[in-house]
Structure 1
Amino acid sequence: MPRHLASPPRIAIIGFGAFGQLIARHLRDHVPLCICDPQVRANDLPQVPLAAAARCQVVVLAVPLSQLEGVLRGIAPHLRPGALVADTCSVKVRPAELMRQILPAHCDLLACHPLFGPQSAATGLAGHRVAWCPLRGRGHLRAAALLRRMGLRLLPTTPEHHDREMAVVQGLTHLIARGLAGLGPLPDRLATASFRHLARAVGMVQADSPELLRTILAENPYAEPVRKQFLAAADLAARQAG
């Protein structure tokens, strides 16, 4: 059952999967938090319904892209003037479009993509990077100051530029890693340093959910042409090798 809150927390995290839990673990010592996720039954942070989460000063959306539109429609009527809403999806063009279309003009909007996950940030956030796409208002400035104090590096960009780069950075990394994983156990005893880097990439993405893989490969508008270009180049290299 949701706990009664004497005063509204400053930040609500909607979605308490692996990434929502990572955010909460590192933010809880800095700001008052609450969480909203109907699947969560036991947790020591205050749990609130969606409408209560939407009334916080900052609303962080840590949900898959497939759920984002429904969550946005659920919080829209309850957002306070000046509230900051931030998504954390792995693509940015579509979330930015949805937030601009659905959320009221009186709230500030931020599209961001933490360039790390539970595995890569297992020992802490310092030095990790976040793609930072302010969409509306100035609420993102206070959020940026907090994250910088926590040791994070913010990389200003646009949703379009982000997705163009991620089509290569994430799209091809996951494609190659999944292809290698499909070969079965990878050789280790005679592995070179370069192959060990590839094997490490395979290990880092194997735990990613099918939902995340679909977002990276299918929901990025620039991923398909990059993928086709890469596969054509690989095919040409194979034919040239005889």
Structure 2
Amino acid sequence: MLAGHYRVLGTSRRQVASLPPGVEQVPLEKALDAPVVFLTVAISAMPGVLRTIAPLLKPGTVVVDTCSVKVYPVRQMKELLPDSVDIIASHPMFGPDSAREREYPLPIILWPVRNRQGRYDELRTTFEGLGLRIVEMSPEAHDQEAAFTQGVTHLVGRVLRAMDLEPSDIGTLGYRRLLQVMDQTCNDPLELFRDLQRFNPSTREMREAFSRAFCQVENLLTPDDRAVPDQVAPDQAPPGKEDSSGGGDPPWNGRS
């Protein structure tokens, strides 16, 4: 997305075989020469990455994280990055699947953590020019809302995968959409699911609410609803199939 408008340098511990168009892989030191540095690393990897890059960053550099949780990485960046660099918290609320489906305008969360150079407004304008919908939200508000949107989606997707659900010739539209949720969430690394649950302080509340809601729905069923009868009881037999041995009218035999 940015590569069509800016020079984009990427770095990785391994050689990436297939890079997006317009992206150039370079050594870490060269990538950190850029005026704006985006961190696209796992949430759990943030402390180690920040300790590595902190002594290499030039004064005035803007560091932008893209983690799916916000309170934890913001705290780590404020603690581990030098005061001479600015910090912007971001969370693009879309991935490759959403981008391919052209679900525009795609939303992105932005929050100025440290904005001494005044680059936040410039970055915001850049994203707006790319057609993104800017949502300004504090890290605390983000994590609370994300737990009950993104967090619960990933939880449901993993639960569905654990049920070994498969496509069906008689699957309804609703069922097919459930499979889409399962496939989309489970296509992400398991590390992301674990990090979402571990590092968002509100996901425990979400999981507890999910468990309570499941129990509430389960309790809507009576003991008879939960029972699996071996056969249909006579008083529940379909019309016209009553047992004639009890003195009732015999079943119709097709003759008048």
TM-score by length of 1: 0.83
Alignment coverage as a number of residue pairs: 217
State the match for 2:192 in structure 1. 212
Q: Secondary structure at the match of 1:55?
A: coil
1:195 Cα deviation after fit: 3.0
Amino acid at match of 1:194: G
Give yes or no for the alignment of 1:164 onto 2:144.
yes
State the match for 1:134 in structure 2. 112
1:143 Cα deviation after fit: 1.3
1:98 Cα deviation after fit: 0.5
State the match for 1:5 in structure 2. none
Q: Distance in 2 between matches of 1:193 and 1:241?
A: 25
Amino acid at match of 1:93: V
Point out the more displaced range, 117-126 or 199-208: 117-126
| RMSD (CA atoms) | 1.9
State the match for 1:107 in structure 2. 85
Q: Secondary structure at the match of 1:37?
A: coil
Show structure 1 runs of 4+ deviating over 6 A.
Answer: none
Give yes or no for the alignment of 1:241 onto 2:218.
no
Point out the more displaced range, 130-139 or 195-204: 195-204
Q: 1:79-116, CA deviations, whole angstroms, 9 ceiling, x for partnerless residues?
A: 22221100111111100000111111121111111111
TM-score by length of 2: 0.79
Q: How does 1:7-26 map to 2 (within 5 A)?
A: 26=1
Q: Secondary structure at the match of 1:56?
A: coil
1:49 Cα deviation after fit: 2.5
Q: Secondary structure at the match of 1:113?
A: strand
CA contact (8 A) 1:51 1:74 kept: no
Q: Distance in 2 between matches of 1:124 and 1:239?
A: 41
1:234 Cα deviation after fit: 0.7
Amino acid at match of 1:173: T
Q: Distance in 1 between matches of 2:69 and 2:187?
A: 19
Residues 1:72 and 1:124: Cα distance change in structure 2 (over 3 Å) = farther
Amino acid at match of 2:12: D
CA contact (8 A) 2:167 2:179 kept: no
Give yes or no for the alignment of 1:33 onto 2:8.
yes
State the match for 1:7 in structure 2. none
1:187 Cα deviation after fit: 5.1
Q: Distance in 1 between matches of 2:158 and 2:216?
A: 21
Q: Distance in 1 between matches of 2:66 and 2:16?
A: 23
Q: How does 1:222-237 map to 2 (within 5 A)?
A: 222-237=202-217
Residues 1:163 and 1:150: Cα distance change in structure 2 (over 3 Å) = same
Q: Percent identity?
A: 35
CA contact (8 A) 2:165 2:179 kept: no
Residues 1:125 and 1:151: Cα distance change in structure 2 (over 3 Å) = farther
1:158 Cα deviation after fit: 0.6
State the match for 2:94 in structure 1. 116
Residues 1:45 and 1:117: Cα distance change in structure 2 (over 3 Å) = closer
Residues 1:40 and 1:125: Cα distance change in structure 2 (over 3 Å) = farther
State the match for 1:72 in structure 2. 50
Give yes or no for the alignment of 1:197 onto 2:177.
yes
Q: 1:52-86, CA deviations, whole angstroms, 9 ceiling, x for partnerless residues?
A: 32221000000101221111112212222221100
Q: 5+ unaligned residues in a row in structure 1: which ranges?
A: 1-25
